[in-house]
Amino acid sequence: MRTNTPTVALLCVALTLAAETARSDASTDALLLRSFDVAAAELQRLADDGNQDAAYRLAGLYQRGLGVPRDSNKASKIYARLAAEGHEAAGLALSRQSDDESWFDPAKEDAAMRLVWAAERGRDEVLNALLDGGVSPDARGPFGRSALIEAAEAGETRALEVLLTAGADPDGRDVSGDTALIQAARRGQEGSVDVLLSRGAQPSLAGSVGNTALIVAAQKNFDTIVASLLAANADPNAMNDAGNNALGIAAVRGHERIAQLLAANGAVAGSFDVRTRSSLGGLRLGQNQVNGRPVWFVAADRGNSSAIETLLSSGARVNQRDESGASALMIAAERGYVRVLTTLIQSGASVDLERPDGATAAVLAARANRVETLRLLLDAGADAGGLLLEATRHAAPDSVGLLLSRGAELNERDAVGTTPLIQAASNNDTRAVRLLLDAGADASHKDRQLRDALWYAADAGNADGVLLLARAGARATDADRNGDTPLHRAARHGHDKVVRAVARVAGLEEAGNNEGMTPFMLAAINRHNEIADLLRQAGHDPDAKNAAGNTALHISSQRGDAVAVRELLSLGARRGEVNAARLNANDLAERFGHEQVLVVLDES
């Protein structure tokens, strides 16, 4: 018997996780330890290998902005793919994201969660309905994050106004102690900051590790937000748990405009004094540390060549490392400080020292697109191996150009077969793609997943890259190990320009992937209606079935997506088609309790 109860679904997930590999255990441990960036990386690798539960967890991280940039659309797309493949939990998660607003019922247990979701999406009409139904404006979702914090972080100013008008606490905190104002400042959301300040948020409250909104904005170099906070009388001399204030942080990080703003509004330097001049360019003579960090590395951070020269003449060790394992040469290379780098090289700094993660000064310069410091390091004999991959991986086209001019290996590859061309295509870096192709890069090479650069360009929405790579010999009809072609990827993600580019170079071939999903089905269930219509006009069958016998209409009905159901019916999908279990769209909508879908189906 088929069951859809949350208890059974969670038990299935638990049993699956218990049998996972060590890498899956690593992702679970990272989640438990709240190391979300580590968890996201591990889950992405598992998801790429076809692990559905890992993909489901990864979607949750994108939905909440944990370890990865918040991207509700990406989360929805992952849930949609998994739901189409039969993952019940993903289907339930997706149904709650539907534009069918019948699920926004304040009487249900998860009304607080719905308020949070509506807030981060700026759905003020839904917020009003929930609040009118009795949901508290201070309702909290995962990890103690309130609807107000979610809206502030997402820059949804109208949602902020709705929540504050309903009585939300402007100074409410999440479990780490941060307020909505601090989170908005951290994300650079100027509109959110202005709304919160105008509605009474206290500008000087300290959050996680003692950081105020002003300190966070100074760290991130958001000068407009700093100005807004100062205008609201934020304390310019508040210090965090490490004893640093906003001016000290801005000065050390080289954020000159912010340092000037803070000084003009009464900020005083903490453990260093920017008003004291010396041969160390503002650092105190004889001072060993600045804000707990050795002055040698602070000088390198600031690009202070005179300070470096003075310290060297006083016996400083040129190859000493900081707590992260970085040398001054690495710091200067990454930040693009040519004079400091020149001084260090002339003083005997080793150009091939590695940090614990294996990065050298040249790697850091290549990643940061610092062409002048990269050139100096190459001239000094730095090892160029792997630099082209690093430059393309970090979307550094100037570094790519320099490395190609120095004869870098065009088709070098990493352990999974990624080449610089594949990396540039996946990063949507058309300039680097063009440079590599002009230099003779192999456009036909495939990685271990049988994906070439054109496949990745299509996946990234890079129509120009698709055309360039097709002209260089890449085939737009080749499928990866999952059976996905570039057209499948473009249809799934809604890249209409890529679909048209594929049509130009290879036509719009109708083919199912390993799960039997056609490009039309992927476009339709993800509500990419223009693409679905284009594919239908090209001959794609709106009633095509996947391996489970489900059509796009089945899938959309099961997950409760009334909007997609209506569009599919308008494109000619037939409601009477049955799947392998002899169920039609009405049967599935009724089984999963999607009343609005039933209404749409009955209207057809």
Q: Which amino acid is at 318?
A: V
487 within 8 A of 520, measured Cβ to Cβ: no
Distance between CA atoms of 513 and 516, rounded to whole angstroms?
A: 5
Assess if residue 130 is contained within a domain.
no
* Percentage of the chain modeled with pLDDT above 90: 60
Give residue-wise pLDDT tens across range 446-456.
999 999 999 99
- Same domain membership, residue 471 and residue 455: yes
- Same domain membership, residue 475 and residue 458: yes
- Same domain membership, residue 372 and residue 284: yes
- Same domain membership, residue 517 and residue 505: no
Q: What is the pLDDT of residue 80?
A: 79
Among residues 233, 222, 235, which one has the least CA distance to residue 192? 222
Give residue-wise pLDDT tens across range 188-205.
999 999 999 999 999 999
Assess if residue 363 is contained within a domain.
yes
Phi, psi torsion values for 457, nearest 5 degrees: -65, -40
72, 98, 124 — which closes off a domain?
Answer: 98
- Same domain membership, residue 519 and residue 472: no
Per-residue confidence at 570, pLDDT binned at 50, 70, 90?
Answer: very high
Q: How far is CA 516 from CA 85, 488, 510, 534, 544, in A?
A: 9, 11, 11, 20, 9
Q: Is 0.75 topped by the overall pTM? A: no
320, 349, 383 — which closes off a domain?
Answer: 383
Distance between CA atoms of 188 and 196, rounded to whole angstroms?
A: 13
Least confident of 45-49, 329-333, 406-410: 45-49
Q: What is the pLDDT of residue 125?
A: 76
Q: Of residues 486 and 37, which shows the higher confidence score?
A: 486
Assess if residue 231 is contained within a domain.
no
Q: Is the pLDDT of residue 57 over 80?
A: yes
- Same domain membership, residue 283 and residue 340: yes
352, 383, 414 — which closes off a domain?
Answer: 383
Assess if residue 165 is contained within a domain.
no
Assess if residue 368 is contained within a domain.
yes
- Same domain membership, residue 62 and residue 19: yes
Q: What is the pLDDT of residue 141?
A: 75
- Same domain membership, residue 438 and residue 504: yes
Total domain count, the chain: 4
Inter-residue long-range contacts of 301-304, CB under 8 Å, 24+ positions, other chains counted: 301/252, 301/253, 301/254, 301/331, 301/335, 302/251, 302/252, 302/254, 303/254, 303/332, 303/335, 303/337, 303/339, 303/340, 304/280, 304/340
- Same domain membership, residue 530 and residue 492: no
Assess if residue 488 is contained within a domain.
yes
Give residue-wise pLDDT tens across range 267-317.
875 433 333 333 344 444 344 555 667 888 888 988 888 888 878 887 889
Range of the domain at 87: 6-98
Give the CATH number, domain containing residue 545.
1.25.40.20
Assess if residue 209 is contained within a domain.
no
Give, to the nearest 10 degrees, the angle between helix 338-346 and helix 371-379: 10
The DSSP 8-state label assigned to residue 103 in this structure reads G
Least confident of 26-30, 256-260, 377-381, 557-561: 26-30
* Percentage of the chain modeled with pLDDT above 70: 86
Assess if residue 158 is contained within a domain.
no
- Same domain membership, residue 497 and residue 517: no
Give residue-wise pLDDT tens across range 507-524.
999 999 999 999 999 999
- Same domain membership, residue 523 and residue 486: no
Q: Is the pLDDT of residue 360 over 50?
A: yes
What are the tokens at 520?
């039309």
- Same domain membership, residue 492 and residue 524: no
Give residue-wise pLDDT tens across range 209-233.
889 999 999 999 999 999 999 999 9
Q: Is the pLDDT of residue 33 over 50?
A: no
